A and B are shown apart, each in its own frame.
Chain A
Amino acid sequence: MTPKERVLAALAGLPVDRAPVLSANQTATYGQMDVSGAEWPEAHQKAEPMAKLALAAHSVLGFDAVRAPYCQTIESEALGCTVKYAGREGIPRIDVHAFKIGDEIALPEDFLTRGRVPELIEAVRLMKEAVGDGVAVMGNIVGPFSIVANLIGITDALKASFKRPDSLIPLMEVAEQAGTMLGKALVEAGADILVIEDMMASIDVISPPIYRNLAQPYEAKQIANLPDVPTIMHICGKLNPIMAEVAETGTTAISVEPSVDAVAAKEVLRGFPRYVALIGGVDAVVTLFSGTPEDVKNDVRKALADGYDIIAPGCSVPPSAELENLRAMVEAAEEAAV
């Protein structure tokens, strides 16, 4: 199987020659920057280095998918937030929140030409051009509630989510439209899969009722509005209490942290008439960042035993994670197949 065939088959619950390995979230490391010659901050800002660094996930690590971008600020910047960079070492962060609750907000017609949006679209086109149909190309968009947290600040977003959830609706609408418009453009540029990162919709952050009543309906709306490609929903935290609701968004697969009870999660997902794949299994901090290749392999073996369909870090890859630790994910998946 080609890497792309492997990923698409696993997403559909079909047989694979071995479990695919990828990262739904930020995948770049300093090691990949050294090898590829593409570095931050340029790879956050310009299409060419962005694509070049993304391709290292396959050429350097042996992952079955490549992905961009490396931060969660692109939509928010295009909607008016200002962004601060952190040089070669770090990821851009929101500097100034562009909105307050109650402000008028509408999706700018020229959204796709604003900020770094065109660079991301072009990067995905370059990635597709480089890998063709051999390797899966994933484009990441940020989920509606997480964009709103960027637009007005997380504390205000959380307080309002509890006290006056209706006051967030105009922001949620625009956030969904922005992500969806970007997602469509990424698919046109060649993305085989869309990843929706909605890390702030985690129930480590909001309560299950707020997820159900506020965050989830906009995720579901987004997935309904996106083109017909497989989607991966990534939400941080121990998702078990809302597993069914996440699947009800219509997402093809769910990417989770190792704090999730994967066996229980799979049990819930098997209750759905369609196949819903589970992605994750490797602890990004404890194992990838602080552990050894053998620790990584142990995580992978446990993940496969627990029923994960695709092996991935449970969260963004720490940029200082060693190449050998990341490569150990692929080695363990290969060893398990023999």
Chain B
Amino acid sequence: MTEQELLEAAAKAVVAADEDEAKAIATEAVKLGLDPLKVINEGFTPGMRDVGDLFERGTMFLPEVILASEAMVAAVAILEDSLPEDQKEKKAGTAVIGTIEGDVHDIGKGIVATLMRVYGFDVVDLGRDVPLDTFVEKVKETGAAIVGTSALMTTTMVGQKALEKMLKEAGIRDQVKTMVGGAVVTQYWADKIGADAYAENAQEAVQKALELVQG
């Protein structure tokens, strides 16, 4: 397999949501001595972008997107392991993300976490049903550049507003950018509560996160 063929196969494996194939390609790339970062950036990442596009167009659905992002994560882990310590990519920043307490569904948030990792963020994924205090503590502890919260119901959406206040009270609101998303959340709501960014979907979330850290 030439390098070009391998890069194309990497993208295809992600789009096919085929974790075994994605891992095999990553392993093959390491064996061939290819540049791991190039394989991530020019092979697997374009595959994940295609997944995002296909999802947006309604030709790919959530179950495949979850499996595709798992394939991506597994392949990237193999490639990153092969990087010498001094070559590990400079991180875009740390992001703390989670679903507000009361909400137990976190599929969308999981995909955002995966994509943010792909784009170089150190992601602290707090999972689902996360108490507001935990977000504040984690931001303090990690010095995160971004805190992202997801809310799927109007009853939990109010938690995003409360978090803005809690970050202010903790004296760290000006050190961290807040991002909000989730089924019921809108740009209107983000503006109303004073969040720094709202994203409609995972692709947009990554774009906005990059804009926020690059200032």
Contacts and interface: CB of A to CB of B under 8 A. Distances in A.
Interface residues of B, number: 24
Contacts of A205: 61-62
Contact of B110 (A155, A206, A285, A320): A155
A77 B107 CA distance: 22
Contact of B61 (A86, A206, A290, A318): A206
Interface centre among B104, B107, B129, B154 (most CB of A within 10 A): B154
Tell me if B's interface is mostly helix, strand, loop or mixed. Answer: helix
Nearest to A162: B63
Contacts of B104: 93-94
Interface residues of A, number: 29
A210 interface: yes
A285 B184 contact: yes
B153 to A, nearest CB: 8
Interface in B98-140: 102-107, 110, 129
Contacts of B195: none
Nearest to B63: A162
Nearest to B156: A90
A203 B64 CA distance: 13
Interface in A289-338: 289-290, 316, 318-321
Nearest to A321: B154
Contacts of B63: 158-159, 161-163, 206-207, 210
Contacts of B184: 285, 289, 318
Interface of A: 84, 86, 89-91, 93-94, 154-155, 158-159, 161-163, 203-207, 210, 285-286, 289-290, 316, 318-321
Given A285-B186, A286-B186, 16 more contacts: A90-B156, A93-B129, A94-B104, A154-B107, A155-B110, A158-B63, A158-B107, A162-B17, A162-B63, A205-B62, A210-B61, A289-B184, A316-B153, A319-B154, A319-B155, A320-B154
Interface of B: 17, 61-64, 66-67, 102-107, 110, 129, 153-156, 158, 184, 186, 188-189
